[in-house]
Amino acid sequence: MRHETASAPPIKLAFGRAFYLLLLANLIAFGANFIGVLGRPLMMDEVHFDSTAISGVAAVGGAISLPFPLLLGWLSDRMSRSWLIVICYICSAIGLAALAESASLWHFWASAILLSGVGVSFGIGQALVIDLVPLEDLGRALSWYGFAPPMAGILGFVFAGYAIQSFGMAPTLIAGAILTLIAVALVIWVQQSRVPGLDEYLAKI
């Protein structure tokens, strides 16, 4: 007598596949960004910039990036939020790669401005979470998303310190840029997973 075995139902993720992809991308991008946060003052100190120049670079990067959340918030209501996040992440990846070759003060200014892209993307990411997650789960999902940057900071600093000591500054920064590009790919996957029917297809794989 033949017994038919019923196939197990697919596991349903609490907040949806797209949210977890976005959460992972956010964690990776912020972690990589903190490599630059740690690496920049160490590099500037190594080439004998004083404390005023080091703090000034951080101030310049922060000041110039201040209007961007307002501009991108306006744009996010008029175009794809996923692609805006991709642009922010790519800017950060370029900033990490540029930082690896920085020597002059303006190089550090430029890299600081580009590295601010990940921080600017956070508000757009929150808006995207609202688009992705059902209303009844939104509070918990936003809490998870907001928890990612500080956790990424801890992991990023730990990884950066170990990697700089073991492999050197430039390879560590390039690794951070590559990690940011992986986060870009994940955000693109978020966009693709929102295509009708694709999420159901992926659940069967």
Which residues form the domain of 129? 37-203
Within a domain: residue 1?
A: no
pTM for the model: 0.83
Q: What average pLDDT does the segment 189-194 reach?
A: 79
Structural domain count, the chain = 1
Mean pLDDT estimate for the chain: 84
Within a domain: residue 160?
A: yes
Q: What CATH number did the domain enclosing 152 receive?
A: 1.20.1250.20
Within a domain: residue 140?
A: yes
- Spatial contact of 31 and 156, defined as CB atoms under 8 Å apart: yes
Report the pLDDT value the prediction gives residue 76, as an integer from 0 to 100.
67
pLDDT above 50: residue 4: no
pLDDT 10s digits, 43-66: 998 888 888 888 888 887 777 777
pLDDT 10s digits, 151-183: 999 999 999 999 999 999 999 999 999 999 999
Within a domain: residue 113?
A: yes
- CA 124 vs CA 21, 76, 90, 130: distances in Å: 15, 7, 15, 10
